[in-house]
């Protein structure tokens, strides 16, 4: 009789726990959907960042049957391909392919992009809940961890951009859920990390963190440590095989990426973004090796810039609360491994990426894991008082996001500009412009980013002769002899290059760009 009563009590307890988990999951889902929709309704007005336009036009080409190609020529890429569209060799293939598939299902539009990101935003919050529960077996703690992530303005902001950051963050948490749920499977971990690499190249730094963990913090037997590290490496290579095969087939180098030239940015030889606008045959690895002092000096300056930018991007309160609780003493060994991997991943990424630039959002995918570790740390140390303390932390996080929620929709001239250019030009028109990605997406036109000088333009014009030049004054590069600013300000100089003023592009009754047309195709550069 007593045994039967104990079994009944145990079953009731298990039912109560399952019910609590399910109710928490439903609540997390509803809150995540509500947050995303409110964010979309209050803040979305198309895409205003050129990275978003770039990813969107890549997905457009996938959807239209052009393969993984770009309709935008960076002059640097003319070394490798002489036509447009041309194979994309800068960005990873994962997000544009999935976005292109979404275009086939839901139609090619801005809304499809943000809807896809909304799905991954909701998935991110749910996955944080799942992973936190797997580690803590506490519904309240898991719920707070999920809500903390949903309050971070970086995730809110990037869920309305056509970039892979939200998708990657959710897949990153999903990977760690698998890692915690199914331990001791290094080959599978490697394959999953390789597939994640197809979405964001940052994954290679997490792979390095795992590799070092197996070598220095693995099993007691040294041979087994190297065996696990080897399995991880083999799995990683298997996962990135599609990328390697594609690169080898189109360019002859499986590990090539045009993004490697980012090491040359903001150097004496290539000030600001000028390396992208030149047809340079410089090997970026050799350049880095031959300019160690310049790389170290640039990295030092950008390290402090990264800290400054991160304070603005994540807010001081979020960084302070997360940092303090993340490094608190912890008891859970599985949580300890997450902390080690995160710390090593951040260190490796910072050391290797600093020469490219101080970019805070490269670190945002670490934060869901950091948040889970922090919440469990607080719960382990404060016990019964932890829900109260964590609730105050949640309120603080929500407060830091208030300026974002109060901010107006961004002003977006590119949608109107695209419609005007679409009406004024033919479908296959090739445009030389300082807004190539904006026009490739919103006007559906092939575009060339302004070359560094006239000699570069002459070289490109051998196979790609632009019919129009559209200038808005967005000069990211100190062009030789200020040729494009002179053209923008002097119609006679434009005529000397073979172009005449065709139209003024306006937004809200204000001129925002000038459009020039070829006077004589034989004379135009």
DSSP notation for 44-72: --S--SHHHHHHHHHHHHHHTT--SEESE
CA distance 129 to 146: 5
The whole-number pLDDT of residue 279 equals 93
pLDDT in tens, the chain (525 residues): 556 666 655 665 566 678 889 999 999 999 999 999 999 999 999 999 999 999 999 999 999 999 999 999 999 999 999 999 999 999 999 999 999 999 999 999 999 999 999 999 999 999 999 999 999 999 999 999 999 999 999 999 999 999 999 999 999 999 999 999 999 899 999 999 999 999 999 999 999 999 999 998 766 788 888 999 999 999 999 999 999 999 999 999 999 999 999 999 999 999 999 999 999 888 888 998 998 989 999 999 999 999 999 999 999 999 999 999 999 888 778 898 899 999 999 999 999 999 888 899 999 999 999 999 999 999 888 888 888 888 899 999 999 999 999 999 999 999 999 999 999 999 889 999 999 999 999 999 999 999 999 999 999 999 999 999 999 998 889 999 999 999 999 888 999 888 999 999 999 999 999 999 998 654 555
84 contacts 71 by C-beta, under 8 angstroms: yes
Alpha-helical segments (H) within 383-431: 386-400, 402-406, 414-424
CA distance 59 to 113: 10
Residues 450, 299, 310: CA angle, nearest 5 degrees:
85
CA distance 46 to 170: 23
241 Cβ neighbours under 8 A, 6+ residues apart: 194
CB atoms near residue 486 (< 10 Å): 15
Copy the structure tokens of residue 219. Answer: 């099993």
The whole-number pLDDT of residue 281 equals 86
The whole-number pLDDT of residue 3 equals 61
Q: Let me know how long the chain is.
A: 525
CA distance 445 to 425: 9
The whole-number pLDDT of residue 10 equals 62
CB atoms near residue 524 (< 10 Å): 19
**Among candidates 355, 273, 340, 269, which has minimal Cα distance to 306?**
355
149: part of which helix (H) or strand (E)? helix 139-151
402 contacts 418 by C-beta, under 8 angstroms: no
Copy the structure tokens of residue 387. Answer: 């829900």
CB atoms near residue 251 (< 10 Å): 15
The whole-number pLDDT of residue 519 equals 81
The whole-number pLDDT of residue 25 equals 94
The whole-number pLDDT of residue 280 equals 83
CA distance 131 to 149: 13
């Amino acid at each position: 009789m007593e045994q039967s009563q104990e079994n009944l009590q145990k079953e009731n307890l298990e039912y109560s726990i399952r019910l609590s988990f399910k109710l928490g999951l439903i609540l997390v889902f509803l809150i995540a959907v509500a947050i995303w929709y409110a964010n979309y309704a209050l803040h979305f007005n198309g895409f205003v960042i050129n990275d978003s336009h770039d990813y969107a036009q890549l997905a457009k080409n996938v959807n239209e049957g052009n393969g993984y190609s770009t309709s935008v020529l960076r002059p640097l890429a003319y070394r490798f391909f002489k036509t447009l569209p041309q194979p994309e060799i800068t960005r990873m293939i994962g997000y544009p392919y999935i976005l292109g598939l979404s275009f086939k299902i839901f139609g090619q539009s801005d809304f499809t992009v943000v809807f896809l990101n909304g799905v991954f935003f909701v998935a991110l919050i749910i996955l944080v809940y799942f992973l936190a529960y797997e580690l803590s077996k506490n519904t309240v703690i898991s719920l707070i961890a999920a809500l903390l992530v949903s309050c971070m303005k970086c995730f809110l902001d990037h869920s309305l951009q056509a970039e892979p950051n939200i998708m990657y963050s959710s897949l990153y948490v999903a990977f760690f859920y698998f890692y915690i749920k199914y331990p001791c499977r290094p080959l599978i971990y490697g394959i999953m990390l390789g597939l994640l690499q197809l979405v964001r190249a940052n994954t290679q730094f997490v792979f390095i963190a795992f590799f070092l963990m197996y070598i220095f913090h693995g099993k007691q037997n040294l041979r087994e440590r190297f065996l696990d590290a080897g399995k991880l490496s083999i799995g990683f290579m298997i996962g990135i095989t599609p990328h390697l095969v594609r690169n080898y087939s189109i360019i002859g180098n499986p590990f090539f990426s045009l993004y490697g030239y980012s090491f040359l940015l903001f150097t004496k030889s290539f000030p600001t973004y000028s390396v992208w606008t030149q047809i340079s045959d410089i090997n970026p690895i050799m350049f880095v090796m031959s300019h160690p002092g310049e790389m170290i000096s640039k990295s030092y300056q950008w390290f402090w810039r990264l800290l400054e930018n991160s304070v603005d991007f994540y807010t001081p309160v979020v960084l302070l609360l997360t940092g303090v609780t993340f490094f608190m003493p912890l008891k859970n060994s599985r949580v300890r491994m997450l902390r080690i991997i995160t710390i090593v991943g951040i260190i490796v990424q910072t050391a290797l990426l600093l020469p490219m630039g101080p970019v805070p959002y490269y670190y945002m995918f670490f934060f869901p894991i950091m948040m889970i570790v922090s919440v469990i740390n607080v719960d382990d140390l404060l016990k019964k008082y932890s829900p109260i303390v964590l609730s105050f932390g949640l309120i603080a996080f929500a407060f830091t996001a208030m300026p974002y929620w109060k901010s107006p929709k961004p002003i977006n001239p590119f949608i109107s500009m695209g419609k005007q250019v679409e009406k004024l030009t033919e479908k296959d028109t090739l445009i030389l412009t300082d807004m190539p990605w904006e026009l490739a997406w919103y006007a559906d036109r092939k575009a060339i980013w302004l070359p560094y000088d006239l000699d570069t333009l002459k070289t490109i014009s051998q196979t790609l002769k632009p019919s129009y030049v559209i200038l808005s004054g967005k000069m990211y590069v100190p062009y030789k002899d200020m040729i494009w600013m002179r053209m923008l300000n002097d119609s006679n100089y434009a005529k000397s290059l073979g172009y005449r003023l065709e139209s003024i592009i306006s937004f809200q009754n204000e001129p925002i760009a000038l459009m020039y047309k070829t006077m004589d195709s034989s004379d135009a550069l």
